[in-house]
Amino acid sequence: MPESSSLTGPAPGVDRPASGFDDPAPGTGGVGPAVVDRETVRLALVVGGLVLAVLLGFGLGRLNPPANPAGGAAPAGTAPAGGAPAGGDHSHAPGTGAHAHDGATVTQGGGDGATGLSISSAGYTLVPSTGELTAGRAGDLRFQVRDDKRRAVTRFAVVHDKPMHVIVVRRDLTGYQHLHPTMAADGTWSVPLTPAEPGVWRMYADFTAVADDGRQVAVVLGADLDVPGGYRPRPLPAPATSATVDGFTVAYTGTPDVGRSVPFRFRVTGAGGATAPLEPYLGAFGHLVALREGDLGYLHVHPEPVRDGDAVTFWLTAPGPGRYRMFLDFQVGGVVRTAEFTLTVT
């Protein structure tokens, strides 16, 4: 028979089993130290267990804080689902620095603000599948972008009117091309490419990927492309603040400063020095890319949303000293042209 509970002793005539507790004292009505002590121990165990559970829960909460507490800021370089990446729609207030597409920080990729130096960055990898390219002959540039699970990425944000911007240039910084490929259902991008001369060429994939949770991550990835044949690198032209292309003169003012954002103002004039009627191209009145001689570090900057009179203003941060080649794309009469400049940063 089971032992009776708390305030009732054993039934009359039934011997209580031996235990480690004392028997009830005579005349107490069966309520003795054995029963009281047993109940006290049970209560202590229950209360102690509850206290321990609370303390453990508090400790685990301290060790593992939420990734993004309610009301807190989103992780750098990301945005809530459906939102834009850090920096909004890629328009930046004056003095905020060069717009380097490579995830959250300006140090990814190059360590000093230059990007496009790596085939993998920010959890994404560039996988070219292009066959052999031939100098002077149209070929097909093909590639995928894969995530950290090796899946082909198929969701990209439209930035500056396009979901993917591809820059191709030879390693001596000649033959610059700005291309916009199309994507197949399996995530393979393709675009016609005609390399002008043999040599080692560099491609940059400049994009904003949309992750599974809706975050948008801006990245620039780079890879080399081989074009067989004799490679005779050309020296960079001397630095100059003006260039001519198809009868247009493009001139700029601005002095670079390492690590500090400074304005570069470009003006485009036509015959007789008249201001050229610039047309929007990729959502702006100009598109500027700067590449560093040697490692081909990539800087991608964008202009102010409105023109400064007849000038288009870009904010540029030089990541370090050296020589750079700047490429300004502009559109007049439905035709996109590119002005090229050599820039020395001391």
Q: Is residue 59 part of a domain?
A: no
Q: Is residue 249 part of a domain?
A: yes
Give the CATH number, domain containing residue 329.
Answer: 2.60.40.1930
The predicted-structure confidence for 61-114, as pLDDT tens digits, reads as follows 333 333 333 333 333 333 333 333 333 333 333 333 334 333 333 334 445 779
Q: Is residue 143 part of a domain?
A: no
- For 252, the domain range is 242-345
Q: Is residue 76 part of a domain?
A: no
Q: Is residue 320 part of a domain?
A: yes
Q: Give all strands of the β-sheet with 177-179 in edge-to-edge order.
A: 177-179, 164-170, 199-210, 216-227
Q: Is residue 307 part of a domain?
A: yes
Q: Distance between CA 253 and CA 205 in Å, rounded?
A: 29
The predicted-structure confidence for 280-315, as pLDDT tens digits, reads as follows 999 999 999 999 999 999 997 878 888 888 999 999
Average pLDDT, the chain: 77
Q: Is residue 291 part of a domain?
A: yes
What is the pLDDT at residue 48? 52
Q: Is residue 152 part of a domain?
A: no
Q: Distance between CA 195 and CA 326 in Å, rounded?
A: 19
Q: Which residue has the higher pLDDT, 4 or 315?
A: 315
CA 267 → CA 122, 203, 245, 252, 264, distances in Å?
36, 28, 13, 6, 10
Residues 291/299, Cβ–Cβ less than 8 Å: yes
- From the list 322, 174, 320, 296, the residue with the least C-alpha distance to 235 is 174
Residues 254/345, Cβ–Cβ less than 8 Å: no
User: What's the domain count of the chain?
Assistant: 1
**Residue 234 above 80 pLDDT?**
yes
DSSP string spanning 247-258?
A: TEEEEEE---BB
